Amino acid sequence: MSDLAIFGGDPLRVEPFPEWPRTTDPILDKISFTLQNDTWGVGSNVINEFNVRFAEFHDAKYSISVHSGTSALWVALKAAGVKAGDEVIIPGYTFIATASAVILANAVPVFADINLNTGNIDPAEVASLITKKTQAIIPVHVAGAPADMDALLSISEKYGIPIIEDAAQAHGAEWNGTKVGALGLGGIFSFQTSKNMTAGEGGAVVSNNSDFMESCFSYHNCGRVKNGKWYEHHRLGSNLRMSALNAAVLIPQLDTLATDTSLRERNRGMLDTSLSELPGFKPMVPAGKSRSANHLYICRYDAAEYDGISRETFFKVMQAEGIFTYRGYSPLYHEPLFIINPDEYPWLDGRDYQALELPNTERFANQEAVWLKQTYLLGNDEDTKDIIRTFEKVTSAMQKEPKKFLELKFN
C-alpha cells in the first residue's frame, strides 16, 4: 500500500503525454502562404480548398466551414426546417452544445436515454419519444464512436424526420465503411482545441443534399443566398463564417488524420484488451460495423467489485499516480441551464427537466463512466503500457485492502 502515491509512494507516471494541439511545418507553411497570398476571409481560396477537401474526406458532396461546432449545429437545425416550438430529440449524455443549439433555434430539446454498452443514444428510446412536433433527431457520436446509424436512419425514413449527426468528436469515424457526418440529412464537426482536428476554434457542416446546404450557406452568411446581391438577405442568419487562417491550420491535418486515427485505434485496442481482464472494468462496445475516431477513451467502472470503493476515490488514486481519469459529462438535462425561466425561454414553459429520469444516462454519468484524455491515445506503446500498469497497480491494491480506500477523505 505504501507504494501508492496517494499514501506517500512514488507515482508510476511522471512523464507528460504528447502535447496537443501539435504545430507542424506544413501548418506553419500553409499559414504563411495564406497570410501572403490569400484573402483572409470572404472570397478566400484557402477556405474553398478546405471545404472541398473536408467534404471529400468525409464521403460527402458538400461542406461549409463555420466558426464553431455549436454554430454548425444551429445552422444545420435551421436549414433542416426547425422552427419555434418544434421538438428535437437528443441524447441525455452529451456536451451542452447539442442542447443549447436546439434552444438557440427556439426549439425544445427532448432527451433520450443511452445504451449502456455504447454510451450513445438508444434508438428504441428515440422511437418512443417521437410526436407530431418532432422536427429533427440529433445522434451524438460520443468519444468518436458512431451511434447505431442503421436503426436511426430506419426511424428517420419511417417517420420522415431528418437526422443531423453531431460528429463533433468523430473526425474520420466510419459506419459500415462510410465516414460519418452525411449519413443523414447532414452532420456537424467541431475544430475546438481538444478535437482530433483542431484550429483552436471552428466547425463544419457536411451533407449530400444540395438544397439543405444552400440553406446552410444562407444561415451562416447573414441570410445571403448564392448568386444573390451582397446586401440582399433572405433569412435571419448570422455571420458564422470561418477565417481563412483557421482553414489554413486545418488543411494539413487532413494529411495526418488517418495516421493519427490508426495510432489512436491501436492504443485503444491495447487498453481494451488489458482493462477487460480487470475486475469491474468494461470497455465500451462499438455499435454495428463501425470504426471509432477514438477522440476519448471511455470505459465503465463497477464499484461493487471493489467493496463499494467509489469511482471518485478511484479517480483520486489514479490521478496521484500520474494518470488523469475523470467522470466526463453529467446528465445534461440536470444542468442549471434547464431550470427553466419562462420569461427567457417561453417555448420551454411547462417542461420540468429537473424531474426527468433517464436511468442509463444517470448510471453511466454518475457512477460508471471513466474517461481518459484524448492525448493519452497519442503516445507510444510504453506510454499506453504505463496507463495499463497504473490501472493494474491501483486495482490490485484496492482489492487487497479496500477498507483503507473507503477511509480516504477528499475535499
- 69: part of which helix (H) or strand (E)? helix 69-79
Q: Measure the CA–CA gap between 364 and 370, rounded to whole angstroms.
A: 9
Q: Measure the CA–CA gap between 186 and 42, rounded to whole angstroms.
A: 24
Q: Is the four-CA dihedral 387, 391, 397, 400 of positive or negative sign? A: negative
At residue 183, the 3 state secondary structure works out as coil
Pairing of strands 325-326, 186-190: unpaired
User: Are the CB atoms for 143 and 169 separated by under 8 Å?
Assistant: yes
Question: 195 catalytic, yes or no?
Answer: yes
User: Are the CB atoms for 273 and 384 separated by under 8 Å?
Assistant: no
Q: Report residue 79 CA to chain centroid gap.
A: 21
Q: Which residues fall within 8 angstroms of residue 84, CB to CB, at 6 or more apart?
A: 106, 107, 347
User: What is the grid cell recorded at 184?
Assistant: 443523414
Name the DSSP class of 62. E
Q: What are phi and psi of 221, to 5 degrees?
A: -130, 50
What are the counts of helices (DSSP H) followed by strands (DSSP E) for the chain?
A: 13, 14
Catalytic residue among 78, 195, 282, 289: 195
Cell 421538438 sits on residue: 87
Cell 426549439 sits on residue: 107
Q: What is the DSSP string of 87-140?
A: EEEEESSS-HHHHHHHHHTT-EEEEE-B-TTTSSB-HHHHHHH--TTEEEE--B
User: Are the CB atoms for 144 and 173 separated by under 8 Å?
Assistant: yes
Instruction: Please count the other Cβ atoms lying within 10 Å of the Cβ belonging to residue 16.
Output: 10
- 179: part of which helix (H) or strand (E)? strand 178-179
Dihedral, 122, 113, 171, 193 alpha carbons, nearest 10: 180
Looking at the annotation, which residues are catalytic?
A: 195
